[in-house]
C-alpha cells in the first residue's frame, strides 16, 4: 500500500485547528451528529468550550467543517489516488474498494461511511445538512462513472451495461456490503462484494481473474 495513504487524516489537516477537527471527526463518526455535543468535543480536545466556539460558533458549523475536511482527504488520498496508482480503470476501481475498507473503521469497529451515515441520520431532522453530506457522495459517483466509461472505451471493462447502470449496481452492492459488515463487525461480506464486482465489469472472465490471484 502506498505510504501516502497511511499518513492519517490528522496529518492532512495542516492548520491551527488540527486538534479540534481531528477529534471532532472521530467523535462524529463514532457517535453521529445528534449524540455529539460541543462539550464532548471540547473535553476530548482538552480545551474550553469558549475556545472551541471561537473557531466554530455552532455544532453544525463544526460538523460541516468535519465533512469538508474528510471529503477532501477521501477524494485525494482514497479515490483519485487509487486510479493514479494503477495502469487501468478496472484495477483502479478494485484498489479503490479495497482502500475504502480502512475508511469504514473507527476504533477497530466497522462504523461505515461518514457521508452516507450522516445523510441518513439527518434526512428528517435537518434535510439541508443531510444534502450537504450527500453532495460529496454524488461528486464521487460522477468521478467513478467517468472512470467506468473510460475503462469501457479502452476495453479494460467489457460489460455491455451502460456506465450509469454499472455505477448504480456498484453502489447498491457497496451499501449492502457496508451495512452487513457493520452488523457483523467484520469484512468477509465486503471482501466478497469486491470479488463479485469483477462479474459485473468483466463478464465471462471472473473465474480466470480470481484463479490468477490464487
Nearest to 102 by CA among 184, 210, 181: 181
DSSP type of residue 190: H
Domain count across the chain: 1
pLDDT for res 106? 80
Q: In this structure, what CATH number is given to the domain that contains residue 186?
A: 1.10.357.10
CA dist 47 and 53 (Å) reads 10
Q: Percent of the chain beyond pLDDT 90?
A: 68
- Listed in sequence order, the DSSP H helices in the chain are 9-12, 18-31, 38-45, 49-55, 59-74, 81-84, 89-103, 114-122, 127-154, 163-184, 188-201, 206-213
pLDDT for res 4? 35
Whether the CB-CB separation of 157 and 148 falls below 8 Å is answered with yes
213 Cβ neighbours under 8 A, 6+ residues apart? none
All three cell numbers of 202, joined, read 468483466
Host domain of residue 43: 3-213
CA dist 3 and 106 (Å) reads 20
Angular region, 140: left φ>0, alpha ψ -120 to 50, beta rest: alpha
pLDDT tens across 110-121, in order?
Answer: 889 999 999 999
Q: Give the largest Cα separation in the chain, rounded.
A: 61
pTM for the predicted model, two decimal places: 0.84
163 Cβ neighbours under 8 A, 6+ residues apart? 145, 146, 148, 149, 152
Whether the CB-CB separation of 57 and 44 falls below 8 Å is answered with no
Integer angstrom CA distances of residue 184 from 27, 40, 117, 180: 21, 28, 17, 6
Cα angle for residues 42, 45, 48 (degrees, 5° grid): 45
40 Cβ neighbours under 8 A, 6+ residues apart? 27, 31
pLDDT tens across 155-176, in order?
Answer: 999 988 999 999 999 999 999 9
Does 1 score more than 50 pLDDT?
no
Amino acid at each position: 500500500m502506498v505510504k501516502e495513504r497511511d499518513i492519517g487524516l490528522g496529518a492532512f489537516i495542516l492548520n491551527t485547528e488540527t486538534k479540534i477537527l481531528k477529534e471532532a471527526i472521530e467523535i462524529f463518526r463514532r457517535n453521529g451528529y445528534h449524540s455529539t455535543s460541543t462539550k464532548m468535543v471540547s473535553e476530548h480536545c482538552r480545551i474550553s468550550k469558549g475556545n472551541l466556539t471561537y473557531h466554530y460558533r455552532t455544532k453544525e458549523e463544526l460538523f460541516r467543517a468535519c465533512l469538508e475536511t474528510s471529503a477532501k482527504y477521501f477524494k485525494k488520498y482514497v479515490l483519485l489516488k487509487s486510479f493514479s496508482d494503477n495502469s487501468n480503470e478496472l484495477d483502479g476501481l478494485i484498489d479503490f474498494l479495497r482502500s475504502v475498507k480502512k475508511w469504514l473503521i473507527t476504533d477497530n469497529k466497522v462504523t461505515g461511511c461518514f457521508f452516507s451515515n450522516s445523510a441518513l441520520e439527518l434526512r428528517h431532522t435537518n434535510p439541508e445538512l443531510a444534502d450537504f453530506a450527500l453532495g460529496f457522495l454524488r461528486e464521487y459517483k460522477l468521478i467513478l462513472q467517468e472512470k467506468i466509461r473510460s475503462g469501457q472505451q479502452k476495453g479494460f471493462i467489457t460489460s455491455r451495461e451502460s456506465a450509469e447502470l454499472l455505477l448504480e449496481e456498484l453502489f447498491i452492492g457497496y451499501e449492502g456490503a457496508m451495512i452487513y459488515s457493520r452488523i457483523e463487525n467484520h469484512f468477509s461480506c465486503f471482501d466478497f462484494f469486491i470479488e463479485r464486482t469483477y462479474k459485473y465489469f468483466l463478464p465471462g472472465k471472473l473465474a480466470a481473474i480470481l484463479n490468477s490471484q490464487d
